[in-house]
Every structure is written in structure tokens, then in C-alpha cells.
Structure 1
Amino acid sequence: MSTYISIKDASLQLKISEQQVRTLCRQGKIIAEKIGNTWIVDQKSLNKYGLLSAHRVAEDRPSYNVNIQEQQKPIALSFFSGAMGLDLGIEKAGFNIRLACEVDKFCRQTITINRPNTALLGDINNYEPDDVLKAARLTSQDDIDLIVGGPPCQAFSTAGKRKAFHDERGNVFLKYIDLALSLKPQYLVIENVRGLLSCPLKQRNYNRRGDISSYFSEDELKGSALNFIINKLKKFGYAYSFNLYNAANFGTPQTRERIIILCARNGKTPPFLTPTHSENGEYGLSKWKTLESCIKNIDKHDHLNFPEKRLKYYKILNSGQNWRNLPKELQKEAMGKSYYLGGGKTGFLRRLAWDKPSPTLVTHPAMPATDLAHPEEDRPLSIQEYKRIQEFPDHWELAGPLIQQYKQVGNAVPVSLGLAVGKLIINLINDVEVIQFNDFKFSRYQNTNHVDWEKQFLQQLEKNKNNYEQQELVFR
């Protein structure tokens, strides 16, 4: 049964004027009834609008009592949940997502709107294992089947300063590992960017970089941050495997690559994820999904706009083209100083192709170096198209202004990649044989799985040791 409140109470709750509330009622943004000359406002509708518009804050909360059907599902706890892309895939595989943990204001509101019965926590640094168990309505005797999380990637991204665990965001990575290992789940999943494979635990001193006679400490070696994590897992008895997975190989209409580390409490090395698609139908799998397959039938589009000076060039370009397809005399004009930069620069003035997967979605579709323009229309991709490409349901509501919605979806893990993770863990829990494809090319890079990566890291250690010994001989 709905509860109705006065315009005055509604204005106090949203902290806006009574006239603004009346306007929202007339526009149908809040469910309300007019009795005579007086509006009365539906409280539930007001709460939802407050979260969507960021007029209200999503508070921490415990999980609500789950029904019998949900209780029978394996339990998963989610950290750094974002807009819940990874979680939706895990949920689709058959898990009960009992708890989400997210510090971002707009993501928290998105979680509250779409999953009101899921426990919600904030900054991971503020919680200990007992806090997590209490919020998820679990005890220390309950066996947690899965903990999943993608700690902030900027500390490891090749586009950033790569301070690893000396970055505040790197510290929450360690907090996540420590908290998860303290909770002792059957399986632990760590999702991150490719930069994690090569990021050092400690940045080399700037003054020593040019000194070719100096050797590296182990913490300065490429990949030492990941090696540090692996040693922690081993210490707690967890076996692990990892690979760089292209989401297109799992049915996502997007070529997005992410490191997925799978960790098992039973000490058995987890197999790789099972692909469902391949670029050209190799292994008898379906071909990669195209952009056209997912965004053709959208009725409404909310989107940012390109600056007028950029539109001049887009009107010349066709689907799948970029600045290089402009007439020669316009290329320098269109690119300005960027024309002389190195690299492929394929993200400049880029129209997406109908017959290929989307490139990796970024948090803003209209930045000059990473344009994501519609294949035919003179605009960036809309938020509705972003959702389809990342495989969020159309009914999934995003809180906050449009720019924040793009950010939430752009940072998410594609649902199909989450589903592949969830299915694998479900099979391992139920002791079901996992299908494997020998020599499957999961990404475009080499040495990105745990076996090849560890060989390379050991070779690096040996080479560094030899360099040290040679240097010692020189200075004796």
C-alpha cells in the first residue's frame, strides 16, 4: 500500500522548493495525485526520484531477509561493485549476491534503486570481516562460496603514473585481498586491467633510471606488484590461475580486455574461462557479436554532443572510418598538434563500424583521442547504447547526471564476462567438468596467462641477478 505525503514534506526530504516539487509532479517525474488544489506525493516514487537525481544519499544497509529460493543459491559477496556489471553476470550464473560494497555516490544510488534487498557498504577501508558478515546476515560458521571484486585500476593502468600499492587506490587493492582472505571464501575473483601484469611494486628512483650499470631491486621489476599478490595467495593456501580475457570471446559486442585472477581455497589450480565466441568462428564457436547486433532497435537516445568544429569532419566520414579517411588537405586541420604525435591515433574522429564489435567503452564518449561516434549519426554513442554494449538490461536504471551515467557504465565489467566467471565457479563448486580449448587465443597479447607470465618473471629475476653479480665484479 502506497504512502502519500504533502508537498512540504517532499520538499524537505529532497531539499528543494515546494514549487520545484510541484513541477516534478506535473512532469510526471514523481508519482502524485491532485486533490482539489493540493498535490499529495507518493513516498516510494519520491525516494526513487531522490536517488536517481542524487538529491538523496544511499545509506549503508544490511541485506533484507532473502526468500527460500535465494537461500538455496550459492552466496557471493561483491566489492568495488560499481554499477554491478560483473555482479549481474555472477547473478545470472546462479549466485545470490548477498552484499555489495561501493564508495562512489552515484554507483551506490544505482545499486540501491536496482537491488534494494542487497546489503550495501561504503569505503572498504572502514570495515573488518565481522562488519561484512553482519551486513550480509552471515556468521563465521557460514561458508562463503565466492567473493568478487575489481579494485580501482588507475594505480596499475599504463595510462597513469603507476604507483601501484604506494597509491591510495593501490592500498584498497591490498585491503580487498586481506579482507577477502580473512573471510576465507571457497573462491576469490580479482578483476583488473592489463597494466597489472607489468606494474612494479615500487617505482624506480628517477635519478637511477638512466644509469645502465645499476641493477633493479626485486620490488622494482616489472610485474612485482602482481608477484606480491600471488605470494599472499600462496601464503593462505589458495591456488590461482589468471589470463587476459577479451570480453568479445564470451559474447560481448565489444573488444574489452581484462585480467581475471581466479583463486581456489582447495589448492587446485582453476582452469581458464570457457569461451563461447571466437573472432572468426574458430573451434566451432559463434563469431564475435557486432555492434549492429545490439544497438539497432533502440527507441530513445540520451547522449552528449560533439563540438561544432568536430562535426564538420564527422559529416565526411562513414561507418568504420576515422581521421585518416579524411581528404589529405583536411587531416592536419582536423588533428591540429595531435597530427604530429606518435602512435596510431585511431581513436581520433572515430566512427564505429556496424559489422565489428565496439572498441572498449571509455568513461566519456566524446573526448578527442577516444571518440566513440555512432556509425551513421553525427553524435557520440548514447547512454542507452552504452548499456546495450556492456549488456546491462534496458530496465537497469542509472543514478545521477548523464556524465556520471556514462562513467558508471564505461567502468563496468561486461555482463557476459561476469557470466563466464560465474559459470566456471558454479561448475567447480558442483565438480562439473569444465570445457577447455587448447591454445585458444584469449587476447591479442603474449605472456598474459599465469604459466607464461611466471616463466617471464623468473627469467627477469635471473637476468637481474646476473646483472647484479656482474656489477659487483666491476666494483670490486
Structure 2
Amino acid sequence: MSTEITIKDAAKQLNISVQRVRTLCRTSELDARKVGNSWIIDKDSLNSYGLKTAHKIAEDHPAYNVNKQKPIALSFFSGAMGLDLGIEKAGFEIRLACEIDKYCRQTIALNKPNAALLSDINHYDAGDIRQAAGLTEKDDIDLIVGGPPCQAFSTAGKRKGFNDDRGNVFLKFLDLCLQLKPKYFVIENVRGLLSCPLEHRPHYKRGEGYTELDEDELKGGALNFILKRLESSGYGFSFNLYNAANFGTPQIRERVIIICSRDRKRPPYLVPTHSEHGEHGLPKWNTVKRCISKLDKHDHLNFPEKRLKYYKLLKAGENWKSLPIDLQKEAMGKSFYSGGGKTGFLRRLAWNKPSPTLVTHPAMPATDLAHPEEDRPLSVQEYKRIQEFPDKWQLAGPLIQQYKQIGNAVPVGLGYAVGSLIFRLLRGIQVIQPVNFKYSRYKNTDDIAWRAEFSQNLSNSRKSSNSNKRKAL
């Protein structure tokens, strides 16, 4: 049952002035009632306001009011909980969330106050995790999910892999999963994981006069290291590069999903619900128009005036290339003469297609995400719809942080596909997959084709190395 507190106590908790608290009471931003000349404030309302505006820190806490009827899922690197919402929708209870980002923690506390909340994964061992989740050593964990920071493997970064501090938390997550021994665990990451080496050798140390790349230095060395750990631990696994559009998300967004099984069996791939052109008898991909056309409220950033004049000349689905050639040069400046497709510049979304991959800032010059018709970037509400978050899902922090949280999230539909598959496997329900389904636009992105390619590359490297040795003799 909620309790009430005074204005002075409220001001102290939020670290703001008493006068500011009075204003919040008068404007009904806080749930309060007038008693004489002062206000009495509902404690739950104050807590919610403090988290949403980042005036209040989301403290670590154990799980409350646990549901023992549902299968148990633990979440790491939870972010704004897109993956978790999908897992929950499939029938799991998210018993624990682990997240270090201040604003994401506040978002988690706002929306899932009963789930245990932990911070830096490096600060906990398997016993700490069980205790926070309300689990004993004898309790079985059905599922662990996590998307370790992707920058260490992203093609946009320096590709340091496990030599990057962010890569090290990947190994910490893997170690925790193997110690906690869940029936299933899931690793989510970016496409760059498929090609990132475990050890990066500078390009100036390659070629004539240097030894050939070894196993850890080859493209994909980091993933190969992970797979060897899984095999030695006794877990079966499968992975693929999945386009979220094939699972109902109105967005082209590709992520590597590794599914690991304690029973040593190789899990099946996720079951698609949509296809680009209706192949396999499935519905066509969802579109932007279907998900955002009926929204009323919009909180959004703005484009600078110098870019707005060009947007006013573009229609839905167009970008800078649709402008007259003289305006293309004017709008792009020096970038006009650089290489690459540059399709993210001055980009309006198309109504009748899925959105491009949402980014953390929709108004950056090279990754513009403009509304199909209105002269503005996509709003946070539209971001939520495209990532399939519920409209009522509260986001903490300033506007730019809200964009970042949703832009970094896993689409709920992709999370639901993961949860649905594992729920079926736990229940022994047969999983039927379409034959030869094209999960991604890229080649050799599933575990079978990827491993064959990696083995061939390793064999070629060893042959080349042996050949060089013979020449030296």
C-alpha cells in the first residue's frame, strides 16, 4: 500500500527545491492532495517521477513477488528490455535484469519494479545472481539471455574483439552462463561478431616477410573461440544472422542470435512469421505506415534549418539522390565526391516498406531518419512502434537518452521469436521450419555454412604457411 510524504521530504529525495515540488503538485505531475496550505504527495508517484526524470537513482534490489508458475528467465545487458519484452510475451517470467547504464536502469525500475535489478556484471558471481533472483542452488534456470556490448565487434568500430574492455564482459557473461547451467542460454550480437578476429594483427605486419595469420587472427576468430568454449562445456548450439523483418518487425535490422542448449542437442533456427515478398506462404514484411500512421503524440528532435529546405523537396522513400544535381552538390558539400552509397543522408522513410535500422540519434547527417511526410525526424513514439515496444512503456531520462535506449534495443518481435522457440523446446513441442528460408541477405551466416568457411580459411592459411616454410629452407 502506498504511503504519503511531505513536500520537504520529496524535495530532499529529488534534490530539487521545495518550490519546484509545489509546482509539480499544482500541475498534477505528482499525485498529491492539498492539506491546509501544503501538499501531501503519494510516495509511488514521487518514485515514478524521480526515475523517469533521472532525479532518482535506480538502486540494486532482489526480486519481489516472484511468479513460480512460469519458466524462469534471467536477463543481462538488458538495456530498455526489448529482448526481454519478447521473451516475457512468449510466456517467461523475467526474474532478473542486469544493466549498468543509468537511464536504462531507471527505465527497468519504472516498468518492471518486481524484477531483481543488478548493475555491473563484473561485480557478481553465480551465487550472487541466484540470491538476487530468489533461487537456491537446487532451482533450475530455464533461460538466460544477453546481448553483450556490440561495439567491440561492430564493423563501425576498431574491431578489437575480446581485447576491448567491452569484449571482456562478453567472456564474463559466457562464464556466468556456464556456471549457472541454465537449460538454454541465448547470446545476441551484431553481424560483426561473424568476422571479428580474436587477436587483431595490424595490416602493416601482414604479407611478405610475416607469418600467415593463425586461428585466432583469422576473420571470425572471436566467434570460433566462443564456439570452442561451448563445445568443451557440453552445450549444443546453433546460430544465424536474423533479419527482424522476417519476424514481424517493421524494420530491417539484422542480429546474430546464438542459441545454446544444455541437452547437447543442436537447437533449430528461429521460426519466421513473415517474408519479404510472401515466400513460403507467409505474410509480407510489415511496413512503416502500418505501425506509425495512427499516432497522435510526438516528442522529437528537430533538423537544423539548413537541412530542412532540402527535406521540403523530398517525398516519402527519397533521399539526397532525388534532388536536382546542383542541389545534390549544395546539400552534400564535400561528401558528394566521396565514395560509398551515402543513402542515409537526407533520408525520408518510405510508407510501404520496413524502416531502415533505427540508430541512436535520428538527426545525424549520415543516418537521417525523417518522417515520410512531415519535416522532422522520427519521434520517440514512432521509434517505440517500429521497435514494437508498448505505447505505455515508460522511458527515463532526457529525450536524446530515450532515443538511444530504443535505438539500441532488440526488436520485441525478434525477442518473441527467441522466447517462442525455447518455450516450445522446453515443452517438447515439435518445431517446424520452412525449407531453405533466406534469413539474411548475406552468405555463410548460419552455424553450418560459417564453420565450413572458417575451416576452409584456416586450412588455406596453414597451407600457405607450410609453403612459405619450405621456400625458406
Q: Does 1:375 align with 2:372?
A: yes
Contact 1:240–1:261 (Cα < 8 Å) also in 2: yes
Residues of 2 paired with 1:256 and 1:211: CA distance?
A: 40
What residue number does 1:90 align with?
A: 87
Partner of 2:196: 199
Deviates more, 1:453-462 or 1:70-79: 70-79
1:293 alignment counterpart? 290
Please state if 1:15 is matched with 2:11. no
Aligned partner of 1:460 in structure 2 is 457
- Counterpart selection for 1:164 from 140, 143, 161: 161
Q: Retained in 1: the 8 A contact 2:242–2:254?
A: yes
- Distance in 2 (CA, whole Å) between partners of 1:469 and 1:4 is 77
8 Å CA contact 1:77–1:148 kept in 2: the answer is yes
- The equivalent of 1:33 in structure 2 is 33
Please name the residue that 2:63 is paired with. 63
The answer to whether the aligner puts 1:185 opposite 2:182 as a matched pair is yes
Q: Is the 8 A contact 2:206 2:212 kept in 1?
A: no
Equivalents in 2 of 1:347, 1:357: separation in Å?
15
The amino acid of 1:84's aligned partner reads M
Aligned counterpart for 1:341 among listed residues 334, 338, 343: 338
Offset at residue 34 of structure 1 (A): 2.0
Displacement of 1:36 after TM fit? 2.9
In structure 1, what residue type is equivalent to 2:349?
Answer: L
Q: What is the CA–CA distance in structure 2 between the aligned matches of 1:27 and 1:259, rounded to whole Å? A: 46
Equivalent residue letter for 2:158: K
Q: Which has the higher mean CA deviation after the structures are superposed, 26-35 or 268-277?
A: 26-35
Aligned with 2:397 (options 382, 396, 400): 400
* Code of the aligned partner of 1:95: F
Could you tell me which residue of structure 1 aligns to residue 146 of structure 2? 149
Q: Tell me the alpha carbon deviations over residues 378-426 of structure 1, each in whole angstroms, 9 at most, x when there is no partner.
A: 0000000000000000000000000000000000000010000001001
How many angstroms apart in 2 are the aligned matches of 1:419 and 1:374? 27
TM-score by length of 2: 0.99
Q: 2:52 matched to which residue of 1?
A: 52
CA deviation after TM superposition for structure 1 residue 338, in Å: 1.2
Conserved? CA contact 1:213–1:471, under 8 Å: no
Q: Helix, strand or coil: the match of 1:60?
A: coil
Residues 390/215 of structure 1: CA separation in 2 closer, same or farther (3 Å cut): same
Counterpart Cα distance in 2 of 1:2 and 1:61? 19
Measure how far apart 1:78 and its partner are.
0.5
- What CA distance in whole angstroms lies between the structure 1 residues aligned with 2:136 and 2:5? 39
Distance 1:2 1:142, change over 3 A: closer
Residue 388 in structure 1 maps to residue 385 in structure 2: yes
Give yes or no for the alignment of 1:110 onto 2:100: no
Gaps of 5+ in 2: none
The TM-score, its normalising length taken from structure 1, stands at 0.98
1:213 positional shift: 5.6
CA shift in 2, pair 1:291/1:212, >3 Å: farther
Partner of 2:372, secondary structure, is coil
What SS is found at the alignment partner of 2:240? Answer: strand
Q: Deviations over 1:5-36 (max 9, x none)?
A: 21111111111111111121122211112223
Q: Deviations over 1:302-349 (max 9, x none)?
A: 000001000010000000000000011100110111112211110000
- Answer whether contact 2:77 2:99 (CA < 8 A) is retained: yes
Using the alignment, how far apart are the partners of 1:349 and 1:212 within structure 2? Answer: 47
Offset of 1:257 from its aligned partner?
A: 0.4
Matched residue SS, 2:437: coil
What's the secondary structure of 2:5's corresponding residue? strand
Secondary structure of the residue aligned to 1:260 is strand
Identify which of 160, 170, 175 aligns with 2:172: 175
Q: Contact 1:76/1:98 (CA < 8 Å) preserved in 2?
A: yes
Partners of 2:433 and 2:252 in 1: CA distance: 21
Deviation at 1:141, TM superposition (A): 0.7
* Structure 1: runs of 5+ lacking an equivalent: none
- Greater shift, 32-41 or 83-92, is seen at 32-41
Take 1:341 and 1:234, find their aligned partners in 2: how far apart are those partners?
45
Confirm whether residue 260 of structure 1 aligns to residue 257 of structure 2. yes
Deviates more, 1:425-434 or 1:372-381: 425-434
1:206 Cα offset (Å): 4.3
- Which residue does 2:217 correspond to in 1? 220
Distance 1:65 1:321 in 2: 51
Could you say which residue in structure 2 is the equivalent of 1:276? 273
**Identity, % of aligned positions:** 68
Q: CA deviation at 1:438?
A: 1.1
Separation in structure 2 between the aligned mates of residue 117 and residue 341 of structure 1, nearest angstrom: 52
Aligned to 1:312: 309
2:417 counterpart SS class: helix
Equivalence for 2:129: 132
Contact preservation (8 Å) 1:250, 1:417? yes
**Pairing 1:99–2:96 present:** yes
Q: 1:326 aligns with which of 316, 323, 328?
A: 323
